Amino acid sequence: MKRIALLGMPNTGKSTFFNRLTGASARIGNWPGITVDLLGAKILLGADMVEVVDLPGLYDLHGFAEDEQVVRRFLQNNPVDLLCIILNATQIDQQLPLTLQLCRLGLPAVAVLNMADEAERLGIRFDTEVLAAGLGCPVCCVSAKYGQGFPEARETLRRVLGQRPSTDIRALQADFAADEALLAEAEKLLARSVTIPRVLEHDLTERVDRIALHPIFGIPLFFLALFLLFQAVYTLGGPLQDGMAWLLEGFRDRALAPLQTLLPGWLYGLLVEGLYDGLGTVASFVPIIVLFFLGMALVEDSGYLSRIAFLMDALMAKLGLDGRSFVMLLMGFGCNVPALMGTRVMRSRGLRRLTMLIVPFSLCSARLQVFVFLTTALFSPAHAPLVLFALYVLSFLTAFATALLFKRRLNSSEPLLIELPPYRLPTFKQVVLRAWQEVYHFLSRASRFIIAGVVMIWLLTHLPPGAVASGPDTLAGMFGAWLEPLLRPIGIDERMAVVLLFGFVAKEIVLGAMAVIYGLEGDALAQLMTQHMDWVQAFSFMLFTLLYTPCLSTVATLRSESKSLAFTGFSIVWSLGLAWLLSFLFYQGARLLGF
């Protein structure tokens, strides 16, 4: 099977091109460094089945960042039949040196000028024949976002792949004298083949940036936008959530309830009261999660996220971090795992570890569904968005405080280099695809963990045989009794202690565990929680869930990325201790004030 490698600088639309070419779902984001893992897909190109691999973005083939090392290792250790080099056509002057480096590797190549529609609007003109002659490979102009020029680009890839046999790659050792010569060659080629207006203007971008990047109002505007997003999610998602719960409850009553007379009691309890009720409780919140990720996709793909990184850089520098660290915190809203992997774009070991220490405090989608459930159940529609917003703010503040405490031990002097792309209105397809990726990732992980977790919880709440379900004599009751003295000072009883215990495996299990332990799901479970907990206990529980040990997947990724068992252990102990301390201060303080 032949192999095409996609290469290029960050923020050239490489992953968008990959999705358009393969129909796959690579993660798309309008900020540098989003692709940190190798993504591959197989397509039929002419008569050949071809594997297309999307490599991490890089600035220099001889750079020292881990993502640049990943590219070098891949090219050295894997046969490649064709290099597909993606360039941002609006920044052709910055992109040519790397393109020349790649073209000099001796492999067949095709240069793709992406965002050609934007370049045309800016008045940039290309002589593709002269450019192709200078690079020594064909040149195509496309818009991966809208699909313009794609048939021609696909045909060019097919033609070059069929014409030129693969060759051995030339040495990748750094030759800085040769690199200097390439810079001079790139300048000459640019002068011969590209016409760039004397002034490039992005009128809309400049007008919006006067407000979005305002040194005083910029950060408050970001948090206001975040709050409005939560408000919209609750307003639009409430009826959808009620409809989903109604459908699930109706299916249970009509299709599953009659099975109680046909199945043994233990099997009915396991399948319906355990598995279905646990999964159903999580599924009822899928509409809200979908809306949340649709909103986040719009923010990310518009180019606003890069501005936030730039805007937050001065503040983050005081904490020993930089703007990229803040971007990783925002990425953690979806899942902490890819956010931890995203720290590979940082060259400094201290900066990377400090960022990895704070990322687990990000309020991920698994925690989100727990908080949505409890805030909907125990708070009014007017107060629920405020409570959720407060949890996100606490997530940021905890991360910032942690960085401030440990910045001297994990120090860094690496400067921030980040590109601010023009604002782009994402296509409907891009936004939906981006949101679907996050939801699919959540559901695929949730289904695996919840099925295993709910079955385990059901067994713990029903064993040993003869014990009253969820009673103190069950294994779950014993675990809860053991943990209860430690958690009673923060308002968490023995049943919710068992829920937290399984939450360490995966936060997706928390709602399913509650459904199994209390023997209810959906609205019935929500009504019971209003009788079982007051708002102080509920907020203390959510605060502890926000901060205590991350899930096993995050812990495993933290161990893999930090390559240090001691650092991983410290991160777990720190988050657990901080969660208990802050929950204790909140709960006891609220009780002293008479709440």
Q: What is the domain partition of the chain in residue ranges? A: 2-195, 218-592
CB 37 within 8 A of CB 76: no
Q: What's the burial of 415, exposed, middle or buried (CB within 10 Å: 0-12/13-18/19+)?
A: exposed
429 pLDDT higher than 80: no
For the segment 453-500, what is each residue's pLDDT rounded down to a tens digit? 667 777 877 788 877 776 778 888 888 888 888 999 999 988 888 888
Q: What percent of the chain has pLDDT over 90?
A: 23
Which uninterrupted H or E stretch holds 525? helix 522-532
Q: What is the pLDDT of residue 130?
A: 92
Pairing outcome for strands 125-126 and 194-195? antiparallel
Q: What pTM, to 2 d.p., does this model score?
A: 0.65
**Domain 2-195 falls in which CATH fold?**
Rossmann fold (3.40.50)
CA nearest neighbour of 345 among 336, 356, 335: 356
In this structure, what DSSP letter does residue 53 have? Answer: E
Tokens 């307003």, located at residue? 235
Per the structure block, which two tokens stand in for 413? Answer: 């002097």
The stretch 339-358 carries a mean pLDDT of: 83
- In our burial notation (b when 16+ CB lie closer than 10 A, e otherwise), range 541-566 reads bbbbbbbbbbbebbbebbeebbeeee
Question: How would DSSP label each residue in 250-293?
Answer: HHIIIIIGGGGGTS-HHHHIIIIIIIIHHHHHHHTTHHHHHHHH
- Average predicted confidence (pLDDT) for the chain: 82
Q: What is the pLDDT of residue 569?
A: 93
CA separation for the pair 492, 498 (Å, rounded): 10
399 pLDDT higher than 80: yes
CA separation for the pair 101, 95 (Å, rounded): 10
The stretch 14-28 carries a mean pLDDT of: 74
Q: What is the pLDDT of residue 139?
A: 94
> Angle at Cα 285 formed by Cα 557 and Cα 425, nearest 5°?
75
CA separation for the pair 540, 76 (Å, rounded): 52
Q: What is the pLDDT of residue 552?
A: 75
Cβ-based neighbours of 17, under 8 Å, separated by 6 or more:
6, 84, 86, 112, 114, 142, 144
198 pLDDT higher than 80: no
The phi and psi torsions of 506 (rounded to 5 degrees) equal -165, 130
The stretch 521-540 carries a mean pLDDT of: 87
Neighbours of 36 (CB within 10 A): 19
Half-sphere exposure of 257 (CA within 13 A, CB side): 7
Q: What is the pLDDT of residue 35?
A: 46
Q: What is the pLDDT of residue 93?
A: 87
CA nearest neighbour of 499 among 470, 468, 523: 470
592 pLDDT higher than 50: yes
> Angle at Cα 42 formed by Cα 84 and Cα 441, nearest 5°?
100
CA separation for the pair 225, 238 (Å, rounded): 20
The phi and psi torsions of 168 (rounded to 5 degrees) equal -70, 140
Highest mean pLDDT (candidates 74-78, 233-237, 402-406): 402-406
CB 288 within 8 A of CB 233: yes
CB 29 within 8 A of CB 440: no
Q: What is the pLDDT of residue 412?
A: 73
The phi and psi torsions of 140 (rounded to 5 degrees) equal -125, 150
When pLDDT is cut at 50, 70 and 90, the band that residue 369 belongs to is: confident
The stretch 284-305 carries a mean pLDDT of: 74
Q: What is the pLDDT of residue 31?
A: 39
Strands (DSSP E) contained in 174-324 are: 194-195
Pairing outcome for strands 39-45 and 125-126? unpaired
